[in-house]
Amino acid sequence: MAHNLMGYSAFAVAVLRKFSPTYSVSEIIQYVAELRKALLGEESLEVNPRVAEGLIRDVLQDKTLTDTPPFGADNETMAKTSFVVLLDLAHDADLAGPSLDEFLRESADYARRWLEAQRAGDAEEQSTIS
């Protein structure tokens, strides 16, 4: 579980760095289209556009997003798509040395906050059941 959480947290931090605080849905669509073009011929790196756009918009808490994870895909497609997007965003961010250390710290902090929110939600749910 920790591995999955750190992977998701790194994905989320990379997305937030690229697209927030302001973004447009058309910006996300364009990004995914350009990524898919760049990967043409790389069969092992195919990106499902619905999943990629949905994952990005979900991290950004896009209120206009009506679809929910897994966006009609299986777990393998979800994992593969998020990994390819993460690799692309990390490559574009040119992470090395201190910037890589900062990215990893942000990702770990994001994971901690996510876990705390989950635990708080579980505790609240338990108190309403009791």
Q: What is the pLDDT along the chain (130 residues), one digit of tens a residue?
A: 666 788 899 999 999 999 988 899 999 999 999 999 888 777 657 789 999 999 999 999 999 999 888 998 998 899 899 999 999 999 888 888 898 999 999 999 999 998 888 888 766 655 555 4
16-43 per-position pLDDT tens digit: 999 988 899 999 999 999 999 888 777 6
Long-range contacts of 59-66 (CB under 8 A, 24+ apart): 59/11, 59/12, 59/15, 59/16, 60/15, 60/16, 60/19, 60/20, 60/23, 62/25, 64/25
Task: Find out whether 10 and 86 touch, Cβ atoms under 8 Å.
Answer: yes
Q: Name the nearest CA neighbour of 91 among 23, 28, 5, 17.
A: 17
Residue 54, pLDDT score: 96
C-alpha span between 39 and 105 (Å, rounded): 29
Instruction: Return mean pLDDT, the chain.
Output: 87
C-alpha span between 63 and 78 (Å, rounded): 21
C-alpha span between 11 and 5 (Å, rounded): 10
How is residue 67 written in tokens? 């679809």
- Tell me which residue has tokens 């009609």: 72
Question: What is the pTM for the complete model shown?
Answer: 0.83
